[in-house]
Amino acid sequence: MAKSVDRAVGVDIGGTGIKAGIVDLKRGELLSDRIRVNTPKGAAPDDVLAAVNEVLDKLGGVDKKVPLGVAFPAIVKKGRTLSAANVSEKWVDFEAEKFFEKGLGRDIQFVNDADAAGVAEVRYGAAKGHDGLTILTTLGTGIGSAFIYNGTLIPNTELGHLWYEGDSIEKYAAYSAMERENLNWEDWTKRLQLFYDHVEFLFSPDLFVVGGGVSKHPERFLPMLKLRAPILPAVHRNSSGIIGAAALAGDV
């Protein structure tokens, strides 16, 4: 993959926080501090745009020639957001990429957040060099997923919306469910086991990678999960979304 630029900026918009950093595209590492602000309550488009402007300002006025990738927690088709699980309903069927480009006064590369994390982990992390099917799941406010087959991303898989007891399974098994319901690690891991068993039966992946907010505590739950495929923590933990968004922006 020929890269004409050596650095890019990534912004990862989540249900709880908006994170940004400048990324070294050769090594897939942050060159700057990781900047974070809270996602504004309700996560409506204008408020999210203002928060993205804020994190970019805090990064120190990055030159507009440096590519910018923005990762977002929704289905993203041709720059349009088609869903809104942990953000305002206003994002459903919304020209989000154009909205950010207008509001930021520059071109961006716009992608689903879990897909961005998947790209980071296959290029620079836990899935690097793995053939076959890797399924990365992010466990945070929701559950995001990225499918990577022989190094190629298959976008918008949305495993957090597998149906479980009349709702999306992310309501039951995301990291936020453990915090919301005061579950201990054992009880929460039982919920994860149910989720991963179902996913493994449906798709028979060769490798699972776990990212998102919880990936900074892999030792608390990964050893309790019993699956056929190996399951590894994301090397870039909760920065994978930033790094992957930047990497995709650097490709263009």
Binding site for ligand BGC (CB under 6 A): 14, 73-75, 83, 85-86, 112-114, 138, 142, 144, 158, 160, 170
Q: Which is nearer to ligand BGC, 62 or 148 (CB)?
A: 148
Give me the least distance between CB of 6 and ligand BGC, in Å please.
28
Q: Which is nearer to ligand BGC, 62 or 99 (CB)?
A: 99
Q: What string of DSSP letters covers 103-159?
A: HHTS--EEEEHHHHHHHHHHHHSTTTT--SEEEEEEESSSEEEEEEETTEEE----G
Give me the least distance between CB of 250 and ligand BGC, in Å please.
21
Q: Which is nearer to ligand BGC, 32 or 83 (CB)?
A: 83
User: Would you call 16 helix, strand, or coil by DSSP?
Assistant: coil
Task: Decide: 7 and 69 in contact? Cβ < 8 Å.
Answer: no
Q: Which residue has the tokens 């739950």?
A: 221
Task: Decide: 15 and 73 in contact? Cβ < 8 Å.
Answer: yes
Give me the least distance between CB of 83 and ligand BGC, in Å please.
5
3-state percent helix, strand, coil for the chain, nearest multiple of 5: 40, 25, 35
Round to the nearest angstrom and report the end-to-end CA distance of the chain. Answer: 11
Q: Which is nearer to ligand BGC, 81 or 189 (CB)?
A: 81
Give me the least distance between CB of 103 and ligand BGC, in Å please.
21
Give me the least distance between CB of 176 and ligand BGC, in Å please.
10
Q: Which is nearer to ligand BGC, 67 or 244 (CB)?
A: 244
Q: Which is nearer to ligand BGC, 62 or 248 (CB)?
A: 248
- Among 104, 133, 57, CA closest to 249: 104
Give me the least distance between CB of 89 and ligand BGC, in Å please.
13
Q: Which is nearer to ligand BGC, 112 or 189 (CB)?
A: 112
Who contacts 146 (Cβ-Cβ below 8 Å, separation ≥6)?
112, 114, 115, 117, 118, 119, 135, 136, 153, 155, 157
Give the separation between CA 172 and CA 57, rounded to whole angstroms: 36
Give me the least distance between CB of 72 and ligand BGC, in Å please.
8
